[in-house]
Amino acid sequence: MIPPRVLPNFLYIGPDKSGSTWMYEMLRQHPQCYVPRIKDIYFFDRYYDRGLSWYAGLFRDAPPEARAIGELSHDYLFSDQAAARIQRDLPGVRLFTSLRDPIERSFSHYLYMVRSGMTASPFEEAVMQFPEIIDNSLYHKHLTRYVERFEPSRLSIFLFDDLVADPREFGRRMFEYLGLTSEVEMDFDRKVLSASRPRNRRLARMAKQGANLARRFGLVGLVGAVKGSATSRWLYAPYREEERPSLPPDARRRLAEVYRPDVERLQSLINRNLDHWAQVEGA
């Protein structure tokens, strides 16, 4: 029997490209919170066969005073199996998500694929190669599996818009939801990740593949150490303002048509006006 104390009491379930790295850094700095050295452990969707004992080992260094112990894996949102496993294995867990304008999230996802050396194709070709660029922005579709399984008090839905508008207030709300004091001083305005391009596409792709391989062997600590290293940072160069890619207007209009039905259903689910998302009005 695994002691409940060493298992998480909160999870960020996704999606990607919606502020999860910022949230991870804020939680990592909070004196009452413990997160492992790496985000995106992917236990409940990809590596569940390692068992709860392996998973619990990732939290063994959590100090006794930690009120919130958890991890952030942005693909849990997209997995029925992950939702069922979390419901079964983590009774009482608090879940949260941060949702971003689906068009902006998808384009950011595409830029990440370019950064990782996974594609050099134009956006509309890349979405044919990698359907998840589109599918991961269909939030209502994916949230349904969690809404059906978890009580409203155990699932908090944040918006990336609010993070951009007021990081401090966003952080305060996140901390309070997780049972943490909001009276902490940290750099809420810190920009954690800026869009960047690979200095060498082949090396960037090898680094991504190496990280995935290390995860498959359970070496998540190694992945975290390498990600935070100067060598890893050298692989990428921030875009200069004049070279930063932008989404072609025709592609934006087509995406608006794809996302509109899902956004309209999401508005009703979370009781927030999202007309500015995906050009819901006047697209």
Domain encompassing residue 151: 4-279
Residue 16 CA to residue 69 CA, distance in Å, equals: 20
- CB-based contacts of 46, cutoff 8 Å, min separation 6: 75, 215
Q: pTM for the whole thing? A: 0.84
pLDDT in tens for each of the 283 residues of the chain? 545 558 999 999 999 999 999 999 999 999 999 999 889 999 999 999 999 999 999 999 999 999 999 999 999 999 999 999 999 999 999 999 999 999 999 999 999 888 888 888 999 999 999 999 999 999 999 999 999 999 999 999 999 999 999 999 999 999 999 999 988 888 887 776 666 655 555 555 565 555 555 556 555 555 554 455 445 555 666 656 666 788 989 999 999 999 999 999 999 999 999 999 976 444 4
The predicted structure's pLDDT at residue 117: 84
Kindly provide the b/e burial profile for residues 94-110, where b requires at least 16 CB atoms within 10 angstroms of the residue's own CB. Answer: bbbbbbbbbbbbbbbbb
Helix, strand, coil shares of the chain, percent, nearest 5, are: 50, 10, 40
**64 CB neighbour count, 10 Å cutoff:** 5
Residue with tokens 């303002």: 241
Q: How many domains does the chain have?
A: 1
CATH number of the domain bearing residue 40: 3.40.50.300
Angle among Cα 24, 220, 147 to the nearest 5 degrees reads: 50
Residue 23 exposed, middle or buried by CB count within 10 Å (0-12, 13-18, 19+): buried
